[in-house]
Amino acid sequence: GAVVSQHPSRVICKSGTSVKIECRSLDFQATTMFWYRQFPKQSLMLMATSNEGSKATYEQGVEKDKFLINHASLTLSTLTVTSAHPEDSSFYICSSVAGKADTQYFGPGTRLTVL
């Protein structure tokens, strides 16, 4: 399957700081990338859909000013958690899709801990 990477794999930050997470599709051009959040022992919740060159589409209840998404190229999308608080601590996972009706390939995830 296709390879999607995320960086960093784990980050610990202080409350009030901002954290940027990168998602890269390494062997294909991703027309669309998705960002998910997963709480311990729970399922994945879609946060937003990111299309290259356009603004991200956020799911209901997700603050777009809190979770900034940039999809600057066909291989890179970034999620910035602004002014992070302890309740933002979670496992963030991205996925990439090459085209319509294609399979989503997932990154390995980023564990964010906000102190």
Partner 1 sequence: AQSVTQLGSHVSVSEGALVLLRCNYSSSVPPYLFWYVQYPNQGLQLLLKYTSAATLVKGINGFEAEFKKSETSFHLTKPSAHMSDAAEYFCAVSDGGATNKLIFGTGTLLAVQP
Residues that bind partner 1 (CB under 8 A): 1, 4, 6, 32, 34, 42-44, 46, 49, 91, 93, 95, 97, 100-109, 111
CA angle 87, 58, 111 (to 5 degrees): 40
Nearer to partner 1, 16 or 108 (CB): 108
Please count the other Cβ atoms lying within 10 Å of the Cβ belonging to residue 13.
Answer: 16
We find the least distance from the C-beta atom of residue 91 to partner 1, in angstroms, to be 8
Dist. CA 6–CA 16, nearest whole Å: 23
Rounded to whole angstroms, what are the CA distances from 51 to 7, 55, 84?
19, 7, 24
Q: Select 32 or 114, whichever has its Cβ closest to partner 1.
A: 32
Q: Which is nearer to partner 1, 28 or 82 (CB)?
A: 28
Rounded distance between C-alpha atoms, residue 12 and residue 23, angstroms: 18
Q: Which is nearer to partner 1, 76 or 82 (CB)?
A: 76
Phi-psi region of 109 (alpha: psi -120 to 50; beta: other; left: phi over 0): left
CB of 52 to partner 1, least distance (A): 13
Residue 34 Cβ vs partner 1, minimum distance, rounded to whole Å: 7
CB of 86 to partner 1, least distance (A): 20
